[in-house]
Amino acid sequence: MATENDIVAELAASAQRVVADGPGPTGARSRRSQLPGYDPSYLGLLTDLGWLGILVPEEDGGIGLGLPEMAAVVRELEKGLMGEPLLPYAVLGARVLVHGDGPARAALLAQVPAGECLAALALDFNGALPAVTAVPADGGWRLSGQAGSVVGGVSATHLLVPAQAADGVRLFAVPASSPGVTRTHLWRADDTPLGQVALAEVVVGNGEVVATPAAAETAVARALDETRIVAAAGLLGLSEHMLAMTLDYMGVRKQYDQLIGSFQALQHKAVDLYIDKERAAAALQFGLATGGDPATLPLAAVRAKGRCSDTACRVARDSIQLHGAIGFTDEHDLGLYVKRVLTLSAWLGNAGEQRRRFIDMGWALA
């Protein structure tokens, strides 16, 4: 029987092959400021590989693997700048659905692995629930308000909208084509779109409820933390890739008749990046080891996302410095990785934000 580790290793190897065969940075470059921010045929490949269903339980029609498996895939895919649209649809959206308790849950979840349901969670910035209200209407609900930060929102089939009703927060699955839904977008640092959604008296039925007030807020919070851990894996992959690029460059670029990699000041800087990367890998491992338990999930997410964000930002900055002017150009691929880091580290809370959560949980003076 294949052990868990075998599956993780196998998935990582497959993801490496996908990156090797994929368009890599060239593809990312050609998609800049283009909707939907990924190549639709790539979504087809992800579907064929079954990866959209990695985090969907078997009884709901998925593969029923866990965060370690998804993290292994995303860590490798980000080295080719190919983590989207797995993150919004197969991680965040899928996990919100998994944690739901409402009538819409099962049918939508069953469509996730085949890519028929691309569900994007509608949030406001910094993980806040959106300012959306739900009022009862004709045996259903009428939703109004806006959500300012909806990753995957521009091409989602469904918007998962947490809405404030008189009796608490309900989570609705709003078909993106519903009358009254307006979708616009901002551009993220990596020139992929960030959806913005306005809802004007959008009518939804009771059958569209994904989570009742008993479960909605927890479902969102858990899915966010799970996604933070997978995003941390992506940031680790980016750190690994940028460090490798930088070490390669230090081994070919000459100044003063010497390889710049022979200068000790630069060697020590590179070692510090390596050490940080190792430490980020350890934090991610902690996150993956403890993230399966809802009780320890928040700390797992805080530590993994905080450390990996911090590390990736540092590796990104110092990689530019160690490349010199070429690292400051649009032409060099390093910039694409740096911008991806800035996008992913800011998403769902950067290192400072995770540290604040750590303090709020009472760990600082523990």
Partner 1 sequence: MRDWNALSDEAFRLAARDFIEAHCPTHLRRGEEHVRWAQSKDWYHAMAAHGWLAPGWPMEHGGMALKPAKHLIYLEEWARAGISRVMEQGVLNVGPVLLAHGTPDQIAHYLPRILSGEDLWCQGFSEPGAGSDLAGLRTEARIEGDTFVINGHKIWTSGAVDANHIFVLARTDKTVKKQAGISFILVDMNQPGVTVKPIVTVNGDAEFAEVFLDDVCAPVGNLVGGLNNGWRVAQSLLGFERVWAGSPHMGRQAMDRLVRVARLAGRDRDPAIVDRIAQLQLDLADNSEMYERLAQEIRAGHSFGFEVSTLKIVATETYARITELTLEIAGEQGGLAGEAPFADGPLLLGKADLLRDYLTARAPMIYGGTVQIHRNILAKRVLGLPA
Residue 364 is a binding residue for partner 1 (CB under 8 A): yes
Residue among 24, 274, 296, 346 that touches partner 1 (CB under 8 A): 274
Residue from 272, 292, 294, 328 touching partner 1 (CB under 8 A): that is: 272
* Residue tagged 């911008």 (tokens): 339
Phi/psi at 161 (nearest 5 deg)? Answer: -110, 115
Task: Kindly state the number of chain residues that form the binding site for partner 1, as judged by CB under 8 A.
Answer: 32
Q: Does 358 bind partner 1 (CB under 8 A)?
A: yes
Q: 304, 281 in Cβ contact below 8 A?
A: no
Q: Out of 271, 292, 326, 329, which residue is the one contacting partner 1 (CB under 8 A)?
A: 271
Choose the binding region for partner 1 from 96-104, 153-161, 165-173, 269-277 (rule: CB under 8 A).
269-277
The answer to whether the beta carbons of residues 196 and 146 sit under 8 Å apart is yes
- Binder among 32, 185, 217, 286 for partner 1 (CB under 8 A): 286
CB-wise, 136 or 251, nearer to partner 1?
A: 251
Give the shortest CB-314-to-partner 1 separation in angstroms.
13
**Of 90 and 280, CB closest to partner 1:** 280
- Give the one residue of 32, 185, 279, 317 binding partner 1; rule: CB under 8 A: 279
Q: Is residue 261 near partner 1 by the rule CB under 8 A? A: yes
Site membership for partner 1, residue 267 (CB under 8 A):
yes
User: Across the strands, what pairs with 147?
Assistant: 197
3-state DSSP of the chain: CCCHHHHHHHHHHHHHHHHHHCCHHHHHHHCCCCCCCCCHHHHHHHHHHCHHHCCCCHHHCCCCCCHHHHHHHHHHHHHHCCCCCHHHHHHHHHHHHHCCCCCCHHHHHHHCCCCCCCEEECECHHHCCCEEEEEEECCEEEEEEEEEEEECHHHCCEEEEEEEECCEEEEEEEECCCCCEEEEEEECCCCCEEEEEEEEEEEEEHHHEEECCCCHHHHHHHHHHHHHHHHHHHHHHHHHHHHHHHHHHHCCCEECCEEHHHCHHHHHHHHHHHHHHHHHHHHHHHHHHHCCCCCCHHHHHHHHHHHHHHHHHHHHHHHHHHHHHHHHCCCCCHHHHHHHHHHHHHCCCCHHHHHHHHHHCCCCCC
Contact call for residue 189 and partner 1 (CB under 8 A): no
Q: 149-169 b/e with 16+ CB inside 10 Å = b?
A: bbbbbbbbbbbbbbbbbeeeb
User: Which among 27-35, 48-56, 94-102, 254-262 is the span making contact with partner 1, rule CB under 8 A?
Assistant: 254-262
Residue 254 structure tokens: 């000459």
Give 6 or 272: the residue with its C-beta nearer to partner 1: 272
- Decide: is 50 part of the binding site for partner 1 (CB under 8 A): no
Q: Whole-number minimum distance, CB 252 to partner 1, in Å? A: 10
Stretch of residues binding partner 1 (CB under 8 A), selected from 151-159, 229-237, 282-290, 326-334: 282-290
> Quick one: which of 14, 259, 296, 333 contacts partner 1 (CB under 8 A)?
259
Instruction: Choose the binding region for partner 1 from 41-49, 150-158, 276-284, 328-336 (rule: CB under 8 A).
Output: 276-284
Instruction: Report the residue number, 121 or 304, with the smaller CB distance to partner 1.
Output: 304
Of 35 and 364, nearer to partner 1 (C-beta) is: 364
Q: Please list every residue from 316 through 355 that binds partner 1, using CB under 8 A.
A: 355
Kindly tell me which residue out of 175, 285, 317, 333 binds partner 1, with binding defined by CB under 8 A: 285
CB of 11 to partner 1, least distance (A): 21
- Is residue 49 a contact residue for partner 1 (CB under 8 A)? no
Distance CA 190, CA 354 (A): 22
CB of 183 or CB of 277, closer to partner 1: 277
* 296 near partner 1, rule: CB under 8 A: no
List residues bridging with 185 in a β-sheet.
195
| Chain residues that interact with partner 1, rule: CB under 8 A | 247, 250-251, 259, 261-262, 264, 267-268, 270-272, 274-275, 278-280, 282-283, 285-286, 303, 306-307, 355-356, 358-359, 363-366
